[in-house]
A and B are shown apart, each in its own frame.
Chain A
């Protein structure tokens, strides 16, 4: 049986401070509750029972800090998460974008390949890929490099295919994957349409302006209340009037009414349109 690890608030602050000193990465912008749990989980997985030992390691080993930062990052979960949302996009959003000469799309704070790959498949199915400029940004070069390689975990692929079957019971997305000897890769042809840019969502400017669609599902969950507000304001300003903004189904825009002016297109799927 695993042991319960319980990092105190004081110890939590000590870890955040140590990471800042060792790497210049300031975790203060992240939701403390989740971050604390990520630290606890990391310590459990790595077999650390003492915060002091963890802090000592952070201060002495820069490679270890990178591993820590990578592990505490919350990934998205699977491709075609919430198939109903993708159906809504398919039926009510993409048809309205067809008249645009160029469709600018931003997937900010990319943390894995799921959302991006799903979006690429949906754009391709709607014959919109050739006129789309898809930006994928992350503060972490390694994350972008991994997404570019397109290697897919077998278990995740299985879940993703199951999700897709709920969107399109008789359809198939097998053609978007290249089955190699030891692993499967996502279509390099589709990935070649993406502009990958290393950029912090917190500190840097958007990669472009005039976005028609910003896909930001379940990423805001990881940020502190204050940072979440400033990020969503930044995303809002990067969009054209009439542009679409998408949050996860467990999120909402409460408390952001003063910095954004969105109208809900789908209350259940959290699709919004900029007024």
Chain B
């Protein structure tokens, strides 16, 4: 199975909303979103993302089953893993990584291990280096890494860190990211 992981922080929310709005209801792959968020704000995020999305969006419970065409948003104050079989989500309260829980590095590294070369990692705007190591893990697994063009990012720190950590496959504008995901054929 192919899996798409998307990470972002400051400035990424509008891009994620646009991506989800552009994907069809019968999208054949699961999407995993790891977005930095306030730990005390537990409601509203899924609802806001769902407004324009045809895909069902969940904040998964631990050991929730993964289904194609579903979007899994890392819950506040938990790290989100994808089990090695790719069929389940695991949550964890381990220490913060890069000052973040959920940490993009954790979700991306887990996706690299699970999906191997059948993974697409997309890193969006953000203000710290979380996700850079995860992009490297995805690249090392032989999969595809895309970063949002730094010039387009509201905050470019995150994408620049990823580009420093590994050789990314594509530096795309948000329109190009959407087009890539629409045409994606695993």
Contact = CB atoms under 8 A, between A and B. Distances in A.
A33 B90 contact: yes
B137 interface: yes
A221 B40 contact: no
Contacts of A34: 81, 90, 92, 94
Nearest to A218: B93
A74 interface: yes
Nearest to B74: A250
Nearest to A219: B93
Interface residues on B, range: 20 to 34
A77 interface: yes
Contacts of B109: 4, 6, 37
Interface in B127-146: 132-133, 136-137, 140
Interface residues on A, range: 35 or more
Contacts of B62: 220-221, 250-252
Contacts of B42: 84, 249, 268
Given A34-B81, A75-B95, A221 B90 contact: yes
Given A33-B81, A33-B83, A250-B78, A74 B63 contact: no
B110 A33 contact: yes
B78 A83 contact: no
Interface in A199-243: 218, 220-222, 225
A166 interface: yes
A225 B93 contact: no
Interface of B: 40, 42, 60-63, 75, 77-78, 81, 83-84, 90-95, 101, 106, 109-110, 112-113, 132-133, 136-137, 140, 164-165
